[in-house]
């Protein structure tokens, strides 16, 4: 059995791949939905984004746009913190098992 | 001061394409020589030359040259990535777009940012684990080296070339405006300094130039946005109220306007921006400069934060310019003001100068000099990163891997890279001068379209899809590349504005072809791979499992200290 086949048998590896793939693709899907949701609002409901908030001139589109920007940062942050706390220890275990 | 009226007219006609690109600066008139700006710029150049000298002493191996020996920290790399992305164009272009159209500027900022999370989730770590110097290392990991390297090098070089031309022309125009230098002097200055940074200092110098510039730009933009908000008692509502009062479009600047008229076009542009980011070679190569996958992932997180923050600042700066620049006769052209009665239209030097005039309005001549110098530094840094990406592709992918079959002498490889840089520098200067009076706004859009339709599909399929074969990647990638180029030529921005055919006659109504060119790329990569029964295809599929293990764990990845 070659090195990579041994790693593939490692339960830590299987857990790593399962968790990372599901989080990565889920977060990518969320980002796509958030962004293209915004673009569709811009394209089909520009006047909704132009609804004033309260009595002022600030429209609802301003916080929505800012929220898309902030969500990009937050989603990245979620992934990085998960990866640092969960995936890196798993990778260290996999590497450790291989050295033994 | 001479006026070139037709240029301003052109600027107006092509506002959507300027916005589309937000990567080029359309010019205006030459300003008086600005000594404080020149002084600060000389300070910046001297500092970066000292760094280049320092870096050159430490650049010995090929790994030093291409990837700074993997010795850049996640925080430094985050700033450098942000620096690569925050071009003078996104600073001046987006704040100028907010100045003329308000809310529409925010739509572009958002599009420019949302590619980064996808890079983090799907590309950054895998790239670091599989590659060494270029993204072609990753794309060709288990596929036929020669053919995929050539494809990836074509994708890289075409992307870099269009981006570079747009930056050079923008640089010439901008420097002419800011410093009162002649266009050709400006272009030679930018090209010459870029060659010095890259050939002597390699990736180390290029990264540090990028970091310094990113810090200066973030500092300058923060100061400007802070000064604007200060004038309105830190109340955005007060700022928006004043802006809607003085802007000729009144309340319409607070909602999406005419820039996005065709929904399909908006979606197509959105795709290009989102996935193009993940296919830009000068961005992708930054993931090889860090120690490991963890640092790669962290650095995109920092970069996303810096870039998002920066785009929020440009939005405030644009609105600040509406209130403080369009109402101040000192920044307006009396002739145009007379004709249009609009302070927005009459801004001296065109809407791209909004942020520059605002710097003068809030910080006086000294701060104006600072922002001008930062804008110049920005172009210089972005151009250097592009040149290094192009040179790496020529020397590492074509020379070392294809011509020498992976057995090139390291010193020769670095030498070829330096020669390639000089060649690219001279080429950039020549093209910059040839394209002086051309509308090059579409070129950044084209670069993103190609990155999204050739580089990105090949890269992401090679990382994640077992059944990808060499033939599928090659033909699919090429079809993506060709359809992106054809799609841009047949788009309104090039067909009508640049080639001068009648308005409305463009065969493809999309501003950016990504919607169909990405589809063509992905579908043909899939179809051809599935149908591929060649011996090579068997090998390609057999190699996937080992590659996937390495992409996930980093076991066997090029180490940080390979020298």
Name chain A contacts of B322, Cβ cutoff 8 Å. Answer: none
Minimum CA–CA partner of B553 in chain A = A91
Overall pTM > 0.80: yes
Residue B238 pLDDT class (50, 70, 90 cuts): very high
Tell whether the model's pLDDT for residue B504 goes beyond 90: no
What per-residue confidence (pLDDT) applies to B547? 93
What per-residue confidence (pLDDT) applies to B175? 82
Residue B385 to residue B390: CA distance in whole angstroms:
9
In chain B, the percentage of residues whose pLDDT exceeds 70 is 92
What per-residue confidence (pLDDT) applies to A70? 95
Cβ(B30)–Cβ(B521) under 8 Å?
no
Q: Which of A13, A28, A68 sits opposite B121 (nearest CB)?
A: A28
A61 vs B270: CB contact, 8 Å cut-off?
no
| A68: Cβ contacts below 8 Å, ≥ 6 apart | A34, A35, A38, B110, B114
Cβ(B370)–Cβ(B220) under 8 Å?
yes
Tell whether the model's pLDDT for residue B25 goes beyond 90: no
Q: Number of helices and strands (H, E) in chain B?
A: 27, 0
Residue B341 pLDDT class (50, 70, 90 cuts): confident
Going by C-alpha positions, the residue among B53, B388, B91 that lies closest to residue B216 is B91
Backbone angles phi, psi at A59, to 5 degrees: -95, 165
In chain B, the percentage of residues whose pLDDT exceeds 90 is 57
What per-residue confidence (pLDDT) applies to B492? 85
Q: Tens digits of per-residue pLDDT, A13-65?
A: 999 999 999 999 999 999 999 999 999 998 888 889 999 998 889 999 999 99
Chain A, window 54-83: residues with a beta carbon less than 8 angstroms from a chain B beta carbon? 56-59, 61-62, 65-66, 68-70, 72-73, 75-77, 79-80, 83
**DSSP classification of residue B41:** H
Backbone angles phi, psi at B34, to 5 degrees: -105, 100
Going by C-alpha positions, the residue among B539, B510, B429, B524 that lies closest to residue B474 is B524
Residue A34 to residue B421: CA distance in whole angstroms:
40
B470-489 vs B535-542: helix crossing angle, rounded to 10: 100
Name chain B contacts of A59, Cβ cutoff 8 Å. Answer: 103, 254-255
**Cβ of A49 under 8 Å from any chain B Cβ?**
yes
Minimum CA–CA partner of B264 in chain A = A43
**Cβ of A2 under 8 Å from any chain B Cβ?**
yes
Cβ(B327)–Cβ(B63) under 8 Å?
no
Which whole number is the average pLDDT over B436-440? 76
What per-residue confidence (pLDDT) applies to B21? 38
Tell whether the model's pLDDT for residue B9 goes beyond 60: no
Cβ(A47)–Cβ(A60) under 8 Å?
no
Sign for the pseudo-dihedral over CA of B192, B195, B198, B201: negative
Residue B112 pLDDT class (50, 70, 90 cuts): confident
Tell whether the model's pLDDT for residue A81 goes beyond 90: yes
Mean predicted lDDT score pLDDT of chain B: 87
DSSP code string of B404-443:
STT---HHHHHHHHHHHHHHHHHHHHHHHHHTTTS--THH
């Amino acid at each position: 059995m070659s090195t990579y086949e041994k790693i593939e048998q490692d339960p830590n590896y299987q857990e790593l791949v399962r968790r990372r793939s599901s989080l990565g693709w889920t977060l990518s899907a969320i980002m796509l939905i958030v962004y293209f949701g915004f673009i569709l609002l811009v394209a089909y409901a520009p006047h909704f984004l132009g609804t004033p908030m309260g009595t002022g001139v600030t429209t609802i589109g301003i916080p929505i746009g800012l929220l898309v920007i902030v969500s990009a940062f937050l989603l990245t942050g979620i992934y990085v913190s998960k990866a640092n706390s969960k995936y890196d220890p798993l990778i260290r275990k996999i590497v450790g098992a291989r050295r033994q | 001061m001479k006026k070139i009226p037709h240029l301003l007219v052109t600027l107006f006609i092509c506002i959507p394409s300027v916005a589309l690109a937000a990567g080029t600066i359309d010019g205006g008139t030459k300003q008086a020589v600005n000594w404080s700006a020149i002084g600060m710029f000389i300070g910046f150049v001297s500092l970066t030359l000292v760094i280049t000298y320092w870096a050159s002493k430490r650049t010995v191996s090929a790994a030093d040259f291409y990837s700074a020996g993997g010795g850049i920290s996640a925080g430094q790399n985050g700033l450098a990535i942000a620096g690569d992305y925050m071009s003078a164009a996104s600073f001046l272009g987006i704040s100028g777009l907010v100045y003329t159209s308000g809310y529409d500027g925010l739509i572009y900022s958002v599009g420019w940012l949302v590619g980064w999370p996808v890079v983090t989730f799907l590309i950054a770590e895998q790239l670091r684990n599989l590659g060494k110097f270029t993204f072609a290392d990753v794309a060709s990991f288990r596929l036929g080296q020669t053919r995929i390297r050539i494809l990836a090098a074509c994708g890289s070089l075409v992307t870099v070339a269009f981006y570079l031309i747009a930056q050079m022309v923008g640089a010439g125009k901008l420097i002419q405006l800011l410093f009162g230098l002649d266009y050709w002097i400006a272009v030679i200055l930018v090209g010459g300094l870029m060659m010095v940074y890259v050939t002597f200092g390699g990736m180390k110098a290029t990264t540090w130039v990028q970091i310094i510039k990113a810090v200066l730009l973030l500092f300058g933009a923060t100061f400007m946005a802070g000064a604007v908000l200060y004038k309105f008692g830190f109340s955005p509502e007060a700022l928006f109220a004043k802006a809607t009062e003085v802007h000729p479009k009144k309340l319409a600047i607070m909602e999406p306007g005419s820039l996005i008229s065709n929904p399909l076009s908006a979606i197509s542009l959105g795709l290009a921006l989102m996935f193009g980011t993940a296919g830009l070679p000068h961005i992708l190569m930054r993931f090889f400069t860090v120690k490991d996958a963890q640092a790669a992932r962290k650095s995109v997180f920092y970069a996303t934060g810096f870039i998002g923050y920066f785009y929020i600042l440009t939005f405030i700066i644009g609105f600040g310019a509406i209130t403080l620049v369009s109402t101040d006769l000192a920044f307006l052209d009396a002739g145009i003001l007379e004709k249009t009665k609009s302070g927005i239209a009459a801004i001296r030097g065109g809407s791209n100068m909004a942020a520059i005039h605002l710097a003068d309005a809030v910080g006086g001549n000294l701060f104006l000099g600072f922002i001008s110098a930062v804008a110049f530094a920005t172009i210089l840094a972005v151009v250097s990163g592009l040149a290094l990406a192009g040179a790496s592709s020529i020397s590492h992918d074509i020379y070392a891997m294809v011509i020498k079959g992976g057995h090139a002498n390291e010193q020769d490889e670095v030498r070829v890279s330096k020669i390639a840089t000089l060649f690219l520098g001279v080429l950039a200067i020549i093209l910059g001068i040839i394209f002086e009076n051309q509308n090059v706004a579409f070129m950044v859009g084209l670069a993103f379209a190609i990155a999204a339709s050739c580089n990105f599909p090949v890269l992401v399929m090679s990382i994640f899809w077992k059944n990808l074969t060499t033939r599928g990647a090659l033909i699919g990638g090429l079809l993506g590349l060709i359809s992106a180029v054809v799609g841009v030529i047949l788009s309104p921005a090039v067909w009508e504005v640049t080639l001068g055919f009648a308005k409305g006659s463009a065969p493809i109504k999309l501003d950016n072809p990504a919607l169909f060119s990405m589809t063509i790329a992905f579908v043909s990569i899939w179809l051809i791979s599935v149908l591929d029964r060649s011996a090579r295809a068997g090998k390609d599929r057999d190699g996937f499992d080992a590659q996937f293990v390495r992409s996930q764990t980093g076991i066997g990845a090029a180490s940080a200290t390979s020298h």
